[in-house]
Amino acid sequence: MNTLKEQSGYFYLVFAALASWLLANLIEVEDTGNRLSPPHSPNFFSSGYQKWTMSADGNPDNHLSAAHISHYSDDKTTHLQQPLLTFQQPDQPPWLIQAEAGLVSADGKEVILEGRATISREAYGNNKALKIITSNLKVKPDIHYAETADHAVLQSLPHTTSGTGMKLVFKQPIHIELLAHVQGKYETKP
């Protein structure tokens, strides 16, 4: 038969185990294994990046290429160097949008092009070539839409139009709107 002294030893052992378990669950242990890099640092990168997107009917829709990308895990953004967006149109030349740098949003719905941005489309049919020079352009690839609050210059030689702020839908029906301070230089036939 166990003596009272032996039973109290078991009690203290069970009490110590229970107290240790409670303390281990109450105290948060910080994982320092991931603290070797600064908070906003890339978790992966790629050189010569290419991404193709297809339309619902299986045809090429848009293409994003960049000289270099860096993805950041803290805000889920992807930073681009020398990005080029290409938007395919049936029976038309593609729209090309290029910039010095850019950023793809965490959800992938927006591409924000930083610095000088150029939008171009070659001539086809009765439509002249078109070139738009602007900066800080926000592009929504899924809906073929771009906008900026900065100055924009539209060139469809021999005509030039400029203004502040621009909205562009580059899918049929194509729509370009300059928002303020619009000026133009139009050459007429003699």
Q: With 0-12 CB in 10 A as exposed, 13-18 as middle and 19+ as buried, what is 118?
A: middle
Q: Per-residue confidence of the chain (190 residues) as pLDDT tens digits?
A: 556 566 667 777 777 777 777 777 776 555 555 555 567 667 777 899 898 988 888 888 889 999 999 988 888 888 999 999 999 888 889 999 999 999 999 898 999 999 999 999 999 988 899 999 999 999 999 899 999 999 999 999 888 999 999 999 988 888 999 998 888 887 766 6
pTM over 0.85: no
The whole-angstrom separation of Cα 11 and Cα 181 is: 85
**Residue recorded with tokens 């900065």:** 150
Whether 155 and 176 have beta carbons less than 8 Å apart is answered as no
CB–CB of 134/146 below 8 Å? no
The arrangement of secondary structure in 42-185, i.e. its CATH architecture, is Sandwich (2.60)
CA distance linking residue 134 with residue 52, whole number of Å? 25
* Domain edges within the chain: 42-185
